Structure 1
């Protein structure tokens, strides 16, 4: 068994090169394709390869909650355990077991969750070649999800990205993220322009003016916040004839939304790409508030299974590329298992023999 603590996991992730990242990306894409194919199968006698039971929870008398999320791809099994105390930080681990039940490894859930969610966005983003400009990117948020969206987009499309702007509601958390992120980005990408500002630190009129200006020049919008109201209005991106990639990973409850209905339906024929139709219709506030139907959704895994080289439609009249992800257990399992294997190859972590 390999125990990979968070500091060594961070070391592993921050030192991934493009080839290694693309390997994990392909592993995740294959898993999503298998999930989608399995969900569409009409053969009831066909043996399932991926099993994702509903998560269960325990709530104590003190208000502490522990979530248990099991998943299996038949070759291995994962159990993600997340503790949500009533008066402390959220903590969690992912346990990876063999098909025979041997514990193969334990890895930090928080960092893997942030990384795999951003990677899910990249499964679609990286396959969009020549469909929109990637030169200017906006990242809404200042948490680990926001940071990994920026890092992975640069790792996979560094030659195309010229500038990244981080926008957050509060200044303190933005400053905290940028203190560690900015020097590293400057060292890795000397020619990259990096900007950051917070809504709370600007006058309302100044913030709106700056936001609208940045939106007008950007074709990539990564939304990574648990917002309960749209981060921007559709009118601000509809003013110019620019095709955009818009992803949303922050809203995970029915009352949350990061974009408005018009922006959500701005894809070709109102099409929305998702990680899971069932999960998004149940959990994604944007889709619930907009009354989106299953027929409007396309699972990313379906697209990967059909054509691994090209994802989305081309041609005149093509709309924005809109992607919504709420996360699935299979993402945790395949990414955690791959990272544990990589960590073992590099001699990271602590091996426990029992």
Structure 2
């Protein structure tokens, strides 16, 4: 593993370069290998948010992290702007950049497309959890949501569960799910695969056949009803990141064995915060974290009929590890030893 500075100085890694450097087949094993040993050594101060224009709710967010380990000598800062009213202009509401420095010399090493980095690392985190929690013979993936993250989640889950034969996409706006299914079908045909891509008009019609149900929405009301989940299903919750957001009801958490990416999810994710407040579950009902699973501290799926739930909210640790792999891989490719 290369952990030095590029002889060519600071580099820029755009979205297309990142997709080449960080496919799920590389990023998921990277997280599996390094999360247990490196997470305790990465410092992650609380995210800082600054109002840019209170009248329009626009804001600037800073998410720093760093490590002085010889195997991870980096400082990383994700810089995010949130401009909710950009939708009327036809522009993205969220933009992000990631800057990587050496924690040995302080030198700037790379500027990285932060939006793409987030999509890749978020989907890889879900896939790593599914490696431990989804049935090995999972055949049907139900994708709830058809936004920017959806195709990344589909590809990442398929990388750890190649048994998936059918993907069904649902979105509140059915035209979006239909369009994504078409794009994924075309991608599959180009790659010579035979996975079937469908879309559903009604989520309740397909939820019960999902061996793996992945959710990436901004919903503030429960979309996934726990009573609909089949025995042996794995529910992957990605969308909510604040107490006001909620993708599933309490019944899904009560029926399932719940894991989270990091402890912060217990106080940030609306599904968990609300369920604890209502007394449906307690904090002690959360079985463990992704680090526990990757490190072998906790056992994932225990029986074929068990329902499992994974809730992620994201952390600067996985940003830093993903940026490390991207930068090291880029330097290795440009300057092979």
Q: Please tell me the TM-score bracket, short chain as reference.
A: 0.7 to 0.9
Distance, in Å, in 1 between the alignment partners of 2:126 and 2:154 is 11
After TM superposition, the score normalised by the length of structure 1 is: 0.79
Give yes or no for the alignment of 1:73 onto 2:67: yes
The partner residue of 2:98 within 94, 97, 112 is: 94
Give yes or no for the alignment of 1:250 onto 2:239: yes
Q: Which residue of 2 aligns with 1:325?
A: 312
SS at the partner of 2:255? Answer: coil
> 1:303 and 1:56, CA in 2 relative to 1: closer, same or farther beyond 3 A?
same
Distance, in Å, in 2 between the alignment partners of 1:161 and 1:76 is 37
| C-alpha RMSD of matched pairs (Å) | 2.5
Q: How does 1:1-354 map to 2 (within 5 A)?
A: 1-13=10-22, 16=23, 21-34=24-37, 38=40, 49-61=41-53, 63=56, 64-74=58-68, 75-85=73-83, 87-88=85-86, 89=92, 90-99=94-103, 100-128=105-133, 131=135, 133-158=137-162, 160-198=163-201, 207=202, 211-237=203-229, 242-267=231-256, 271-277=257-263, 279-291=264-276, 292-297=281-286, 298-306=288-296, 311-315=299-303, 319-347=306-334
Q: Is the 8 A contact 2:128 2:160 kept in 1?
A: no
> 1:315 and 1:165, CA in 2 relative to 1: closer, same or farther beyond 3 A?
closer
Instruction: Show CA shifts across 1:86-145 (max 9, x none).
Output: 54322111111111211111111111111111111111212347x463111101111222
Runs of 4+ in 1 over 6 A off after TM superposition: none
Q: Is the 8 A contact 2:102 2:108 kept in 1?
A: yes
Distance, in Å, in 2 between the alignment partners of 1:68 and 1:120 is 21
Q: Is the 8 A contact 1:78 1:94 kept in 2?
A: yes
Q: Which residue of 2 aligns with 1:42?
A: none
5+ unaligned residues in a row in structure 1: which ranges?
39-48, 199-206, 349-354
Deviation of 1:233 (Å)? 2.0
Q: Which residue of 1 aligns with 2:4?
A: none
SS at the partner of 2:43? Answer: coil
5+ unaligned residues in a row in structure 2: which ranges?
1-9, 87-91
Count of residues in Structure 1 that have an aligned counterpart in Structure 2: 308
Deviation of 1:23 (Å)? 3.8
Instruction: Show CA shifts across 1:239-283 (max 9, x none).
Output: xxx21111101011112111110111222xxx3100112x11221
Deviation of 1:31 (Å)? 4.3
Q: Which residue of 1 aligns with 2:6?
A: none
Deviation of 1:57 (Å)? 2.0
Deviation of 1:179 (Å)? 5.0
SS at the partner of 2:29? Answer: helix
> 1:181 and 1:92, CA in 2 relative to 1: closer, same or farther beyond 3 A?
same
Per mean C-alpha deviation after superposition, the further-off stretch among 339-348 and 133-142 is: 339-348
SS at the partner of 2:132? Answer: coil
Q: Is the 8 A contact 2:188 2:194 kept in 1?
A: no
SS at the partner of 1:24? Answer: helix
Distance, in Å, in 2 between the alignment partners of 1:59 and 1:163 is 44
Q: Is the 8 A contact 2:132 2:301 kept in 1?
A: no
After TM superposition, the score normalised by the length of structure 2 is: 0.83
Q: Which residue of 2 aligns with 1:46?
A: none
Deviation of 1:290 (Å)? 0.5
Highest RCO, 1 vs 2 (Cα 8 Å, sep ≥ 6)? 1
Distance, in Å, in 2 between the alignment partners of 1:86 and 1:165 is 29
